[in-house]
């Protein structure tokens, strides 16, 4: 299915990009603005398609799991470097708190990364001021690693806290327009975490902020 969606999108994104680069001649500002909107809408559509493909692969049991060594501190460093361009467009502080006693984890590194990046970009999106923090620690009781993403953002009301993990849902339906996004990130994240034998939970207070906590077993049994 992915092939059929991506082929025409490839042409839309590519030609738009070439026009914006001025390959076919200088583009006047009003046209440039319209082209930029075609470009951002096409990218939005691509993100949606990728998300829907992810969900359908998970639901069909066709999402492969690749278990390997995962050093959480390195992974967090990598993730922070990747979201840095987003952070620099805000006034937010991104903090990290990594416990020194973290064991090497046997899990699907790429999936943990996808989930944490989703949580971080959400936190950055829904926090107008203050900070966003990523913390990682070892939980002896469950023999698992806990990664928590906290923010001082708008928070999520009690009655919305279960709903936001559903497909195409953000806490406030008007926020989809205000904040962008398809509302699929958390539902994919929760599915992925379940595949990894872990849990994704939320504590939040409106106006104070949110903490999303991801826990995965130290060793994922295949």
Partner 1 sequence: MKRSRRATNDDTTKTADRPPLVLLVDDFQDNREMYAMYLEHAGMQVAEAGNGHEALDQAFRLLPDLIVMDLSLPGIDGWEATRRLKADERTKKIPVVALTSHALEGYSEGAREAGCDAFVTKPCLPEQLLSEIRKVLAAP
Please choose, out of 15-23, 94-102, 129-137, 147-155, the segment that lies near partner 1 by the rule CB under 8 A. 15-23
214, 200 in Cβ contact below 8 A?
Answer: yes
Please choose, out of 1-9, 119-127, 137-145, 206-214, the segment that lies near partner 1 by the rule CB under 8 A. 1-9
Taking the complex as a whole, the smallest distance from the CB of residue 66 to partner 1 amounts, in Å, to: 8
The burial of 171, by beta-carbon neighbours within 10 Å (0-12 exposed, 13-18 middle, 19 or more buried), is given as buried
Number of residues that bind partner 1 (CB under 8 A): 18
220, 108 in Cβ contact below 8 A?
Answer: yes
Q: Report the residue from 3, 140, 177, 222 that binds partner 1 according to the rule CB under 8 A.
A: 3
Taking the complex as a whole, the smallest distance from the CB of residue 143 to partner 1 amounts, in Å, to: 29
Please choose, out of 13-21, 82-90, 163-171, 204-212, the segment that lies near partner 1 by the rule CB under 8 A. 13-21
H-run or E-run covering 134: strand 131-139
Binding mask 16-55 for partner 1 (x = CB under 8 A): -xx--x-x----------------------x---------
Q: Report the SS3 class of residue 138.
A: strand
150, 77 in Cβ contact below 8 A?
Answer: no
CA distance 216 to 79: 17
Q: Could you give the count of Cα atoms lying within 13 Å of 66 in the half-sphere of its Cβ? A: 5
Answer yes or no whether residue 202 interacts with partner 1 by CB under 8 A.
Answer: no
CA distance 138 to 111: 19
Residue of 195, 171, 160 lying closest to 54 (CA atoms): 195
Answer yes or no whether residue 14 interacts with partner 1 by CB under 8 A.
Answer: yes
Binding mask 55-74 for partner 1 (x = CB under 8 A): ---------x-x--------
Taking the complex as a whole, the smallest distance from the CB of residue 11 to partner 1 amounts, in Å, to: 4
Residues found near partner 1 in the complex (CB under 8 A): 2-3, 6-11, 13-15, 17-18, 21, 23, 46, 64, 66
């Amino acid at each position: 299915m992915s092939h059929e969606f991506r082929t025409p999108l490839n042409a839309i994104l590519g030609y738009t990009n070439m026009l914006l680069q001025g390959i076919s001649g200088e583009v006047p500002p009003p046209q440039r603005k319209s082209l930029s909107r075609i470009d951002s809408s096409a990218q939005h559509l691509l993100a949606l398609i990728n998300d829907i493909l992810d969900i359908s692969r998970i639901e069909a049991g066709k999402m492969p799991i690749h278990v390997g060594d995962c050093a959480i501190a390195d992974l967090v460093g990598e993730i922070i470097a990747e979201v840095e361009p987003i952070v620099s467009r805000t006034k937010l502080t991104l903090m990290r708190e990594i416990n020194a006693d973290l064991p090497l984890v046997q899990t699907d590194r790429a999936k943990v990364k996808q989930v944490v990046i989703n949580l971080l970009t959400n936190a950055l999106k829904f926090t107008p001021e203050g900070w966003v923090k990523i913390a990682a620690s070892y939980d002896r009781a469950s023999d698992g690693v806990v990664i928590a993403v906290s923010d001082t953002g708008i928070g999520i009301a009690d009655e919305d806290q279960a709903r936001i993990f559903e497909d195409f849902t953000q806490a406030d339906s008007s926020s989809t327009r205000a904040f962008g996004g398809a509302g699929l990130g958390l539902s994919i994240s929760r599915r992925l975490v379940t595949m990894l034998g872990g849990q994704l939970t939320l504590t939040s207070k409106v106006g104070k902020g949110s903490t999303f906590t991801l826990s995965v077993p130290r060793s994922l049994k295949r």
